[in-house]
Chains A and B, each alone.
Chain A
Amino acid sequence: RKEVEQDPGPFNVPEGATVAFNCTYSNSASQSFFWYRQDCRKEPKLLMSVYSSGNEDGRFTAQLNRASQYISLLIRDSKLSDSATYLCVVVYGPFLGGGATNKLIFGTGTLLAVQP
């Protein structure tokens, strides 16, 4: 079983639609959670962190359910510019410190295509 699982999609939605992505993780020791965005043939970029209390950034809302080991990302009022691959990322354990940075564990990504 993969450590982080996502539906690869593609999700084809019209402009203005609301779309939700889900992600599950297998290691209950996972400590921190993120959504990254990756445009075609580009590097991943941090979209937002995910907290148990949920967090919102404009049209984007992220939720974490530790009991179910489940993370979600909701995009409202989709724009053409939202077309990209969305990567779910988890980090295990407490912050390592001592100069080390905890490695990022990525899901395979979910491809979103927003249609005009």
Chain B
Amino acid sequence: DAGVTQSPTHLIKTRGQQVTLRCSPKSGHDTVSWYQQALGQGPQFIFQYYEEEERQRGNFPDRFSGHQFPNYSSELNVNALLLGDSALYLCASSARGGTAYEQYFGPGTRLTVT
């Protein structure tokens, strides 16, 4: 049973560029949440997708956008990258009807903006 997978593992970008991160949820899961974890901090909620729609959003600017596909996989897009966007980006999946708050995290994508 495959867990949550994310790609790429690492990424280096330059300020002003755009980046797309990808996530495949755990088998049987249909909801995907994205979190940003800066160095020395806990993860912060970016947004959540279910049925290809954004259902909840955290306190992140519009530069952060996402998408969910019919196969439940998801993308996180960040435009006009800033140095402060350097972080570990975590994807978490959950299942409707499952344990109310149980989310499984992927290994993350480490983004460095120079």
Contact = CB atoms under 8 A, between A and B. Distances in A.
Contacts, number: 68
Given A43-B90, A99-B55, A101-B94, A106 B105 contact: no
Given A34-B101, A91-B101, A104 B45 contact: yes
For chain B, the bracket of interface size reads: 20 to 34
A11 B42 CA distance: 17
26 contacts: A32-B101, A41-B110, A43-B106, A44-B90, A46-B102, A91-B101, A95-B101, A99-B31, A99-B51, A99-B96, A100-B31, A101-B31, A101-B33, A101-B48, A101-B96, A101-B100, A102-B100, A103-B45, A103-B48, A103-B58, A104-B33, A105-B45, A106-B42, A106-B43, A107-B42, A108-B40
A108 B40 CA distance: 7
Contact of A100 (B35, B43, B48): B48
